[in-house]
Chain A
Amino acid sequence: MALHGARRARENGMGRGFASFLLAEAANRCTRLGRLTEADDLTRRALDYGPAGVSAGLAHGVRASVLLKLGRAEEARPHVAEAKRLLRQATGSMWIAPIYARLAEQAELDGSIDQVRRSTAE
């Protein structure tokens, strides 16, 4: 559904906002299903649209999630930071919780339990 929506959004000139958002959502689902290569491609395409605001925050966050699971932690780092910056004023767990999950995941890979705890406490 998300991919269909993304295609329609692109056809109607709404690539930057809706298509990007929907591609990131589809990538999120693919990640959960273990389809990481597909998710990698979808998040790259989502960011290629040049999204702004929460759509960009979501796309960067999902891209970070995919990269961390693929073991590309250094590539993930700037996406986590950008997602956090873009979503700093967003309210609601839908936006905020995934970013802190990424920060915790990153800290876990760094072997820093204190940083994991700080991310969760924040």
Chain B
Amino acid sequence: MEGGEEYAFYVRELYLTTLRAEADAAERARAARDGEAEEAARRSGEELADGMRATAAAAAADGSAPPQVVADLDVVAAEESRLEGRARPELWRAAADANERIGNRLAVAYAHMRGAEAIVESGGDRSDAAAFLRAAHEIARDCGAEPLREACATLARRARLDLAGDEPTAAGADPFGLTPREREVLELVAAGRTNRQIGEGLFMSEKTASVHVSRILAKLEVSTRGEAGAVAHKLGLDGA
């Protein structure tokens, strides 16, 4: 390899890692309703996506680009949809297929996980989402890719998708009789999240989040969210 092809091949990981981090940052900023941070992440992410496309084009200038670089462009397109806050499961399926063809199992698992998330966010078939997430989780577990496996398990809990029962949705019983879903909401209450942010984080409406919070306050016999957070922290129910 030489010239643009070599460059594209070796910088691809740096670009993809950073693009993924920017898409995460955009999602976090959106949940926190921080328009400035979201815009910064989107701008930076778009520059990276453009850079990736330019290096791929350079790689293809004297022939065809390496298959990995071609597959990366599918990932770039899918990550751009996350940057923009658009759930596009079909883009993640394309990214998974392209990486499957070249045996890049970790990239396949990542794309399946994101695809499952996009299906849930777009109101698609939850059994499809669960199937993709299970596939991602299985690959990550087989490979020993612990951060990726954890990310799958976290998504399963947030979106209430079944991972074939090998990931319990909550810890053991608590003295207040909270349901697993209420425990998840309480974790976010303890972290200072608003009902809107809780709804976005757990794929429920703001209204539903509000109902959960009211029930939690009643069960904990407290009157404010701050007190609920303090009780949760004291009893180890805040996920810390």
Contacts and interface: CB of A to CB of B under 8 A. Distances in A.
- Please classify the interface of chain B as helix (H, G, I), strand (E, B), loop, or mixed, using the class held by over half of its residues: helix
Contact of A33 (B18, B25, B105): B105
A117 interface: yes
Q: Is the interface of A mostly helix, strand, loop or mixed?
A: helix
Interface stretch (B6-14, B76-84, B213-221): B6-14
B150 interface: yes
B36 to A, nearest CB: 13
22 contacts: A32-B103, A33-B103, A33-B104, A34-B109, A34-B143, A35-B143, A36-B145, A68-B147, A69-B143, A69-B145, A70-B145, A71-B150, A93-B11, A97-B10, A98-B10, A101-B13, A101-B17, A108-B20, A113-B25, A113-B41, A116-B22, A119-B18
B44 A71 contact: no
Given A101-B13, A107-B21, 13 more contacts: A32-B68, A33-B103, A33-B104, A34-B104, A34-B145, A71-B147, A92-B6, A93-B7, A93-B11, A98-B10, A108-B21, A113-B41, A117-B44
Interface in B15-52: 15, 17-18, 20-22, 24-25, 41, 44, 48
Interface of A: 31-37, 68-71, 92-94, 97-98, 100-101, 104-105, 107-109, 113, 116-117, 119-120
- B interface, how many residues as a size bin? 20 to 34
Interface string B45-89: 000100000000000000000001000000000000000000000
